[in-house]
């Protein structure tokens, strides 16, 4: 299979995951007091263990916006050095508890040390885990917070579905994250450092809201918009001088003034028991398997590779490679569904019969029509799938 050309605006999900992990594993320290003082009130910074301050890597103050009350159970996704874990543990008090999850054992060790130094360790559980596949049980917590983490996921819909699963009905999500409203150059979008630095993976506010709706959340409020200039981006140790130089060369001056906006997104899992946590519309057509209930990141079939293309506002444009002899699941979409075959040959399997497809063929499938795409040639069948663009 051919790989993306250097500079192309796409990365494999596995590459993104590896780049993010390597970047956070390799940094010798966080952004420190300069960043912490920008994000949190002075008295809060002064009250925290020095190590938690030095490992600050967030983009906002989700705990202040989460309205935590004593006794609540909180999940801190991507806890890093543990600054928000400590703040949340103080808010929920001795009767409450905080589960802190980070993909890196090194970060979990820092969070444990911070909770011990702050005297709140007995109400905190720190676990190594991935936000896209949490080991936290269903409906286990009242509130999920995260700070500069969701934008690191190449599978944000999946991560949000996990958040919805672990929240009790009526529970809240309060996430500090970056949104990017401009089209960044492909070289930036394909830069591992820009992914690790929360820029390349950031979606627009509109897409963030849409993903929250699709994950089943209500009462969505996105507030606290604060611009991040290139100079502020440089506070984060993820950006090496070389990457900063690349960004300065590639980004127009006006974009350099405001590369991204940090926002606080708050929403709620509905109380009503008949509201499924996954907003995926269920499409009841006998014989059809909804594509993981039409969650946009959910093509998981042997021999099928999905890459998400950035550069379209919706961020749902995907490239799929179906290996010779392979097939996507037989699935449906709630929307008109269009695709263009780039290379390879195969068949579009529809209820009414099969249709051969090859390079240059564009296909359009009616909403809710069950279909599968099969590869028949020696090489993978590659197509761009314009899924979910037609809400
Ligand atoms: C920008 S830092 C923010 C850390 C912390 N929330 C803060 O405010 O300082 C992102 C953190 O997310 C973690 N992370 C990255 N990908 C993750 C994933 N898939 N699941 C869980 N944690 C992840 C990183 O290891 C890192 O500690």
295 versus 121: the higher-pLDDT residue is: 121
State percent of the chain over pLDDT 90: 43
pLDDT of residue 338: 73
pLDDT class for 161, splitting at 50, 70, 90? confident
Residues 6+ apart with CB under 8 A from 60: 39, 147, 148, 176, 177, 224, 226, 262, 263, 264
Q: Could you tell me the pLDDT band of residue 309, with boundaries at 50, 70 and 90?
A: low
Residue 387: pLDDT band with limits 50, 70, 90 = low
More confident residue, 330 or 80: 80
Q: Are 354 and 301 in contact (CB under 8 A)?
A: no
Ligand 1 and 163: CB distance under 6 A:
no
- What is the C-alpha to C-alpha distance for residues 287 and 26, in angstroms, rounded to an integer? 48
Residue 316 CA to ligand 1 center (angstroms) comes to 23
Pocket lining: 23 vs ligand 1, CB cutoff 6 Å: no
139-153, 159-173, 260-274, 361-375: least confident range: 361-375
Judge if the beta carbon of residue 117 lies within 6 A of ligand 1: no
* Residues 60-78, mean pLDDT to the nearest whole number: 98
The half-sphere exposure of 367 on its side-chain side, counting CA atoms within 13 A, is: 10
Query: Is the CB of residue 177 below 6 angstroms from any atom belonging to ligand 1?
Result: no
List every span in the chain annotated with CATH 3.40.50.150.
10-268
Distance of CA 131 from the midpoint of ligand 1 (Å) = 9
> What is the model's pTM?
0.73
Whether the per-residue pLDDT at 279 is higher than 60: the answer is no
Domain with CATH 2.60.120.10 in the chain: 291-386
Residue range 134-157: mean pLDDT, rounded: 92
SS3 assignment for 258-281: CCEEEEEEEEECCCCCCCCCCCCC
Percent of the chain topping pLDDT 70: 82
pLDDT tens-digit series, residues 30-43 = 999 999 999 999 99
Q: State residue 154's pLDDT score.
A: 80
81 lines ligand 1 (CB under 6 A): yes
- For ligand 1, the distance from its centroid to the CA atom of residue 193, given in whole angstroms, is 14
**What's the CA-to-centroid distance between 327 and ligand 1, angstroms?**
34
- Band (pLDDT 50/70/90 cuts) for residue 197 is confident
* pLDDT the model gives residue 12: 62
Q: CA 131, CA 16: separation in Å to the nearest integer?
A: 14
Class of domain 291-386: mainly beta
Does residue 65 surpass a pLDDT of 80? Answer: yes
305 confidence band (pLDDT: 50, 70, 90): low
Q: Supply the pLDDT for residue 390.
A: 30
Rounded Cα gap, residues 385 and 322, in angstroms: 12
Q: What tens digit of pLDDT does each residue of 80-110 get?
A: 999 999 999 999 999 999 999 999 999 999 9
| d(C-alpha 269, C-alpha 287), whole Å | 31
Indicate whether residue 238 lines ligand 1 (CB < 6 A): no
Ligand 1 atom 18 nearest Cα: 130
User: Does residue 57 register a pLDDT over 70?
Assistant: yes
What pLDDT is attached to residue 354?
A: 86
Identify the CATH number of the domain defined by range 10-268.
3.40.50.150
Q: List the residue whose alpha carbon is closest to atom 5 of ligand 1.
A: 80
- Ligand 1 centroid to Cα of residue 176, in Å, is 12
State CA 263 to chain mean position distance: 14
**Banded pLDDT at 314 (limits 50, 70, 90):** very low
Is the CB–ligand 1 distance for residue 48 below 6 Å? no
Q: Structure tokens of 287? A: 């014989």
Any ligand 1 atom below 6 A from CB of 130: yes
Q: Read off the pLDDT band of 8 (50, 70, 90).
A: very low
pLDDT value at residue 73: 98
Instruction: Look at residue 311 and tell me whether its pLDDT is greater than 60.
Output: no
Contact between 177 and 263 under an 8 Å Cβ cutoff? The reply is yes
CA of 128 to the centre of ligand 1 (A): 11
Pocket test for ligand 1, best of 17, 30, 53, 78 (most atoms within 8 A of CB): 78
Q: How high is the mean pLDDT of the chain?
A: 82
Query: Where is average pLDDT lowest: 8-22, 351-365, 372-386?
Result: 8-22
Residue 206 has what pLDDT? 87
Instruction: Give the pLDDT band (50/70/90) at residue 366.
Output: confident
The verdict on the CB of residue 107 being under 6 Å from ligand 1 is yes
In short, whether 78's Cβ falls inside 6 Å of ligand 1 is yes
Residue with CA nearest ligand 1 atom 7: 58
User: What average pLDDT does range 226-233 have in this prediction?
Assistant: 91
**Predicted local confidence at residue 119, as pLDDT:** 97
């Amino acid at each position: 299979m051919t790989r993306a050309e250097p500079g192309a605006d796409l990365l494999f999900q596995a590459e993104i995951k590896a780049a993010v992990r390597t970047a956070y594993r390799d940094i010798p320290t966080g952004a420190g007091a300069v960043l912490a003082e920008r994000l949190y009130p002075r008295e809060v910074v002064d009250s925290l263990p020095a190590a938690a301050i030095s490992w600050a890597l967030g983009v906002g103050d989700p705990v202040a916006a989460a309205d935590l009350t004593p006794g609540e159970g909180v999940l801190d996704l991507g806890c890093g050095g543990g600054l928000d874990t400590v703040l949340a543990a103080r808010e929920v008090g001795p009767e409450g508890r905080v589960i802190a999850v980070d993909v890196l054992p090194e970060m979990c060790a820092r969070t444990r040390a911070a909770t011990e130094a702050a005297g709140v360790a007995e109400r905190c559980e720190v676990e190594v885990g991935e936000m896209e596949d949490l080991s936290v049980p269903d409906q286990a917590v009242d509130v999920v917070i995260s700070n500069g983490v969701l934008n690191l996921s190449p599978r944000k819909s999946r991560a949000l579905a996990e958040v919805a699963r672990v929240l009790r009905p009526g529970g809240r999500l309060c996430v500090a994250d970056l949104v990017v409203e401009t089209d960044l150059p492909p070289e930036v979008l394909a830069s591992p450092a820009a992914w690790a630095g929360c820029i390349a993976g950031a979606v627009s506010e509109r897409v963030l809201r849409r993903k929250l709706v699709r994950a089943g959340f209500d009462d969505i409020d996105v507030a606290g918009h604060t611009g991040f200039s290139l100079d502020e981006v440089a506070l984060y140790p993820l950006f090496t001088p070389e990457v900063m130089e690349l960004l300065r060369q590639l980004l127009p001056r006006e974009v350099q003034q405001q590369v991204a906006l940090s926002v606080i997104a708050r929403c709620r899992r509905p109380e009503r028991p008949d509201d499924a946590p996954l907003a995926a519309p269920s499409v009841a057509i006998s014989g059809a398997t909804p594509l993981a209930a039409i969650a946009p990141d959910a093509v998981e079939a042997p021999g099928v590779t999905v890459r998400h293309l950035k550069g379209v506002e919706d961020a749902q444009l995907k490239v799929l490679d179906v290996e010779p002899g392979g097939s996507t699941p037989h699935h449906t979409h709630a929307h008109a569904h269009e695709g263009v075959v780039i290379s390879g040959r195969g068949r579009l399997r529809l209820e009414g019969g099969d249709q051969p497809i090859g390079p240059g063929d564009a296909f359009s499938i009616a909403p809710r029509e069950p279909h599968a795409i099969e590869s028949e040639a020696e090489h993978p069948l590659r197509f761009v799938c314009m899924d979910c663009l037609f809400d």
